[in-house]
Amino acid sequence: MQGNRQQTALITGASGGIGYEFVKLFAQDGYNLVLVARNEQKLTQIADEFQRRFGINVTVIAKDLSLPTAPEEIFTQLQQASIKVDVLVNNAGFATYGLFHELDLTKELQMLQVNVVCLTHLTKLFLQDMVKQGYGKILNVASTAAFQPGPLMAVYYATKAYVLSFSEAIANELEGTGVSVTAVCPGPTESGFQQRAAMEDSKLVSGQKIMDAATVAKIGYRGLLDGKTVVVPGVKNKLLTETVRFTPRKLVTKLVRSMQESK
């Protein structure tokens, strides 16, 4: 509770994967929810279930976040409904897989819009109110991809590097305001992400034991509540992010290329 008011969390990409697991965690802790994704039917089913189970209010906003107008429309809709957002979870994101010069330009630009521009735009809109009220939390879903270049997923890796750098910078700016920013950086996760990116045959994921979405969400959620700036779920992933700092950049890039290639 913030004062006598029940807190509200807005979660993008809420209809599946890590986003859905975040929905469960916030609902269990009694937050009202704003769920954003493209699939209105799925969001409505989730809203009905969690309102019934936890006695919370759930607002559904079906939006395609690759459209530049989406962040402002979301913000305006919530303002008109007098819904104040205390926690913003920028979870929505997707990837493409293949050689950059062969991939569809439209998809790459949509990825930049969702992973970078929309995340930045939503953060700007909701952060200003958080600073005014002296309280708020933002969770940006980055990736272990943020720590190195990613041949065969060049744009995706670059978007996550942006998310991590952006999150760390504004977390520093916000010290003393009562608002915290956390970047969670999961490695490969069982979430449907690989299927959408058409990279199931990549050595990075094929035949590998990878973390499940519920575990990633729990670790990220705990980090958010603790006010941590960067959270890397899993010992193996933490070791990876530390190792690349001391390895020549060119070698790291070659190793990533090797891992990304199909078996």
Burial of 98 (0-12, 13-18, 19+ CB in 10 A): middle
Token reading at 119: 């995340």
Residue with tokens 């950049």: 249
Region 183-194: mean pLDDT is: 82
**What's the rounded Cα separation, in Å, for the pair 188 and 202?**
11
**What's the rounded Cα separation, in Å, for the pair 108 and 201?**
21
Domain range 8-260, CATH class: alpha beta
When the pLDDT of each residue in the chain is averaged and rounded to a whole number, the result is: 92
pLDDT digits (tens, 9 = 90+) for 7-24: 999 999 999 999 999 999
Mean pLDDT check: name the lowest of 54-58, 97-101, 248-252.
248-252
Would the pLDDT of 1 be above 50? no
Strands 58-62 and 32-37: parallel
Domain edges within the chain: 8-260
DSSP conformation class of 62: E
Do the beta carbons of residue 108 and residue 59 sit within 8 Å? no
Q: Which positions are annotated as active-site residues?
A: 156
Would the pLDDT of 32 be above 50? yes
Would the pLDDT of 4 be above 70? no
Q: Which residue has the higher pLDDT, 118 or 259?
A: 118
* pLDDT given at position 190: 81
Rounded to two decimals, what is the model's pTM?
Answer: 0.91
